[in-house]
Amino acid sequence: MSTLNISELSILLVEPSPTQLKVIIKHLQQEGITSIEGTTNGSEALESIHAYPPDLVMSSMYLPDMTATELVMAMKQSEAGQNVPFMLISSETDFKALDPIRQAGVVAILPKPFNHADLKRALKATIEFIDPEELSLTHYDVEALRVLVVDDSLMARKHITRVLNNMGINEIITANDGKQGVDIFSANQDAFDLIVTDYNMPVMDGQELIRFIRHDMGNTLIPILMVTSEDNELRLNNIQQSGVSAICDKPFEPQTVKEMLFRVMD
């Protein structure tokens, strides 16, 4: 059980619209959050993070001096901001605009205007990320669980690895595309208990990786969890038929990943 409450979160809110800033602050105050700092642009946000790192950064997509994606990238490259969770609040719906920030490992993406229930759920996901509980499985020693993480995004690999580490899983090998993942897995299938893979990757995508493992290698037993930002229903149906054990959206909630691991591992 987490020892941190939502009301204890310190939040940096990056929003250029004074009206939207007031609306979001009101929602946060309804959850008992009082430590809220507001800023209107990315540069001020980075200065604030450097001086006093918050528990969570919440930002609009389009800021006067940069996009939220650029803000996340800058945070990940700084010592003070690299481990601070990030939540996007935006009316943007274009896949190409949202995919880079999904890949960066944000804790949630909320629409504008957002539902208060969705905000509360996203705040709970933040708590799970900051103050995690270790995973407990009936048939596996979690500390001995061996995982292969395959993703072409370095930030996504780091984010997935951190979430797994928070659950008590530390035996993790990473690959930067499906081909490298296949090469690593082919060298010693018995070295892994679980594969976590992205879908959209160069050289060999996640679906091709799964088909190779299931059909070419004949390994139908190892659980494969796909973590993807893909929203095309036809493609997702094809992935299901290729032999994936479970599919999780990016951004994902740690609790959702836990529930999927309970299902596919136990």
* pLDDT at 138 exceeding the cut of 60: yes
Mean pLDDT, rounded, of the chain? 90
Q: Region of 264 please: left (phi>0), alpha (psi -120 to 50) or beta.
A: alpha
The values of phi and psi at residue 33, to 5°, are: -80, 125
Sheet holding 194-197, edge to edge: 171-175, 146-150, 194-197, 224-228, 246-249
Per-residue pLDDT tens digits for 25-67: 999 999 999 999 999 999 999 999 999 999 999 999 999 999 9
Q: How far apart are CA 10 and CA 54, in angstroms?
A: 5
CB 102 within 8 A of CB 109: yes
pTM, entire model = 0.82
**pLDDT tens, 79-97?**
999 989 999 999 998 988 9
Residue 1 has pLDDT above 60, yes or no: no
Q: How far apart are CA 181 and CA 169, in angstroms?
A: 19
Angle in degrees, CA 15, 18, 23, rounded to 5? 80
- Residue 3 clears pLDDT 80, i.e. is over it: no
- Alpha carbons 166 and 134: distance in angstroms, whole number: 6
The whole-number pLDDT of residue 113 equals: 87
Residue 127 pLDDT greater than 70, yes or no:
yes
d(CA 157, CA 60): 24
Task: For each of the domains in the chain, give its residue range(s) and CATH number, in order of start.
Answer: 6-130 (3.40.50.2300), 142-265 (3.40.50.2300)
Length reported for the chain: 266
User: For residue 240, what pLDDT is reported?
Assistant: 73
pLDDT computed for residue 7 by the predictor:
94
**216-257 pLDDT per residue, tens:** 999 999 999 998 877 766 666 776 777 888 888 888 888 888
* Contact predicate 121/166, CB 8 Å: no
- Which of the pair, 147 or 246, is modelled with greater confidence? 147
Q: Report how far residue 252's alpha carbon sits from residue 256's, in angstroms, rounded to the nearest whole number.
A: 7
* Phi (first) and psi of residue 31, to 5 degrees: -90, 10
- Given this model, what pLDDT does residue 2 score? 55
